[in-house]
Chain A
Amino acid sequence: MNLPLASSAPGSATLPASSTAAMVASTLRLLRFLLRNPMTFAGLIVVATLMLVAVFAPWIAGHDPLLQNLAGALQAPSGAHWFGTDEYGRDVFARLVYGSRITLYIVLLVTVIVGPIGLLVGTVSGYFGGWVDSLFMRITDIFISFPSLVLALAFIAALGPGLEHAVIAIALTAWPPIARLARAETLPLRNADFVVAVQLQGASSTRIILRHIIPMCLSSVIIRLTMNMASIILTAAALGFLGLGAQAPLPEWGAMISTGRRYMLESWWLVAAPGAAIMLVSLAFNLLGDGLRDVLDPRSQS
């Protein structure tokens, strides 16, 4: 009377035999979609290049980024110094290459801090609602109502300048949008049948949030985080430019522009090279985020 229905299953070309096989298949599908769009592909290439450059900086740079040579200061780009030298005779290309480490360090650290905090605050307040929601969202409102650079400046003014403090200051201003997004994603899930079903299996709220709600919010949060990386880079550069981020002699891109602007009129490469790097990398993160949205966002899929 109840026959097995294996033969009539839709899309049964390949049958995954284990949960890892099923996961690998869906990851591959994601990657294929990602590579289909040329803009996303370009973004991915630039971000991948940035990572490779950061990892292999000593082999790529060719010069010591901190080595001063006052006799060779402010040289124009040439075969020996691809992007010229700065006011202390340091190789700009080497400084750019080593600067990619600082940029990545800031971006990754901020993302790692902001992602979990935003997700947790958002899903908890969305899931429980009521006074928990009011409390968390008012705190979020307070943080969101400050202009982010001003809040970061205030924080650094209190703690003193430095790379770590810049990271914390940026993180402080970057989590509220993530929390709001996660909350908005959680609200319709709270009464979804599949969440009610696990509630009726006796699952604890912690389990429901961690295992059933967060996976559903994850894709839009990842998209948002990737887009955010562009603005993190810009904020970090702005803090560096204002002298509040990475301190000399660290080759931070924003700080490089800041010191280079004094010689900008005669030595354009001092500002153009790090400026182009900042623009390229933040553009790449934006493109990657756009592509991820096309792939991950269920609403944009047919």
Chain B
Amino acid sequence: MSMIEIAGLNLSFGTGAALNAVLHDVDLRVAEGEAFGLVGESGSGKTTVLRCLAGQYQHWSGQLRVAGQAVTRKLPLNHYRTVQMVFQDPYASLHPRYTIDAALQEPLRIHGIDGRAQKVSEILRKVGLNDSFRFRYPHQLSGGQRQRVAIARALILRPRVLLLDEPTSALDVSVQAEILNLLADLRRQEGLTYLMVTHDLAVVAHLCDRLAVMQQGRVVETLDSHLLASDGATHAYTRLLVQASRDIQRIPIAV
């Protein structure tokens, strides 16, 4: 069964002469338990697809289904318990005036779930933190720790789908690896489905089973991620991306 089904998704902003079409007939299918990467250059519409799924934009047209349920204009509360999102910048995604404890309890309060203190404690341990972090403010944590808290906040409602919007691009290289390993472990433990947006093909190759390449609001190619390494990409744009990624990795050695 497909966990995420996107069919003929169109989205545009503005009207008349200022009309700016952002997505053109995007089709994607992500199986349950799969990690699916969405790559492409800046402005290709990757993040926009995530935000449509999360329910942040309402004026799209097409068909969106998550866990068999159609995503509608007015979302029921249980949609948010199925789909959660982790943001790119861990410095901006946590409320600066609330402690970690309050930030993690907030989703439980919204959904009227009891036993909050214990759940917060559990989820912190699950993301590799512990109770000593509970009553600190975000500015007292490092970037990697904040991203762990953001992941904990997304997971505390026990979602089945996690939308990851470049979850490692704002972090140090060494911390990136920690977070990626954490995400891989969590997916295995919880049977989560990932839809991850990224620039970084190495991250996709590491974490994802399949990926889609987007360019100017269209999906140009969908392929298995192991084909990236073995030059199995067929579309010219995908090959360009792969080549660019290799060139970047070669630069430090050349210098």
Q: Which residues of A contact B (CB under 8 A)?
A: 1-6, 8-12, 15-19, 21-22, 26, 192-194, 196-203, 207, 211-212, 215-216
Contact = CB atoms under 8 A, between A and B. Distances in A.
Interface string B125-148: 101111011011100111011001
Contacts, number: 110
Nearest to B78: A202
B145 A193 contact: no
Contacts of B133: 6, 9
Top 4 A-B residue pairs of the complex, sorted by shortest distance between their CB atoms: A2-B128, A202-B80, A193-B93, A16-B135
Contact of B102 (A17, A19, A199, A203): A19
Interface stretch (B14-22, B82-90, B210-218, B237-245): B82-90
Nearest to A216: B97
Given A10-B141, A11-B140, A21-B135, A4 B130 contact: yes
Given A201-B110, A202-B110, A194 B132 contact: no
B34 interface: no
Given A2-B182, A215-B97, A19 B135 contact: yes
B209 interface: no
B242 to A, nearest CB: 29
Contacts of A193: 87-89, 92-93
B188 to A, nearest CB: 11
Interface string B38-82: 000000000000000011100000000000000000010101110
A16 B93 contact: no
Given A4-B128, A196-B87, A198-B110, 6 more contacts: A6-B130, A9-B145, A10-B142, A16-B135, A26-B137, A199-B56
A216 B101 CA distance: 18
Nearest to A2: B128
A201 B110 CA distance: 8
B110 A207 contact: yes
